[in-house]
Amino acid sequence: MSLSVAQPYKDFAGKLSRRVAARLSLIEAQYNFDLGDEYEVALCEVLTDILPARYGVCRGSIVTFDGQEAGDDLVIYDRLSYPTLRSSIAPNYAIKEQVPVEAAYAYIECKHGLSLGATLGASQTLAKAVEQVRAAKRLGAKRTANPNLEYRKQLRFTEPKRRDWPAYYPELKNELFGVVFARNATLANPAFDPTRLQIGGDHAPVSCPLLSGPSTMTVWIKEGTTHACQEAQA
């Protein structure tokens, strides 16, 4: 029996991607997305629709016990264990919240549009968004680490011939996930492959998969550990 890896889980990811795109298109007819705030509110509604009930979604920032703060767009957090200050009222995504870093699962930087150059420096809007996510992930790295004991048991580590295989399990169970999501992405040079765009320096490369068609892009950002592929595959 042979298994196809082209569409794992019967194209679950592809179907989910198309569902998100359709939901955004429906909301766009209402909001028009003229302002960045409207796009963030739309993404909050979409994520609330598709995520399990334990995950809360809000606009705002991540804060530490000693008052350090990072981020200004979307936060996904543990809604059951850490209710936000306004959890007792109906969701109002226009109001920004402050989420304790211990409760945060992910920080999402939202951009209505990105213009990509060959380097991060040539993509100023993306560079600013990346720095926002980096700041959020630096706060997340201050949490007590919760190592994943299954991480080193993956084939890329146990089989010498499988070193190029991705690490599907994260190195830490409580690592903060960081992503830049853009509704529209354009290339300064149409021949440029956005997956080759790198952050540079000591940081891992970014991965820029195109979701739901050529104009939608997500940038996964890795900071604080050594294996970028695990987050790019999330």
pLDDT value of position 233: 32
pLDDT value of position 175: 87
pLDDT digits (tens, 9 = 90+) for 12-22: 877 877 887 78
- For the segment 44-50, the average pLDDT, to the nearest whole number, is 88
Is the Cα dihedral 50, 54, 57, 61 positive or negative?
negative
Is 65's pLDDT higher than 80? yes
Summary mean pLDDT of the chain = 75
Is 106's pLDDT higher than 80? yes
pLDDT digits (tens, 9 = 90+) for 87-96: 556 677 888 9
Indicate the residue type of 4: S
Distance CA 80, CA 199 (A): 35
Closest CA to 194 of 134, 123, 129: 123
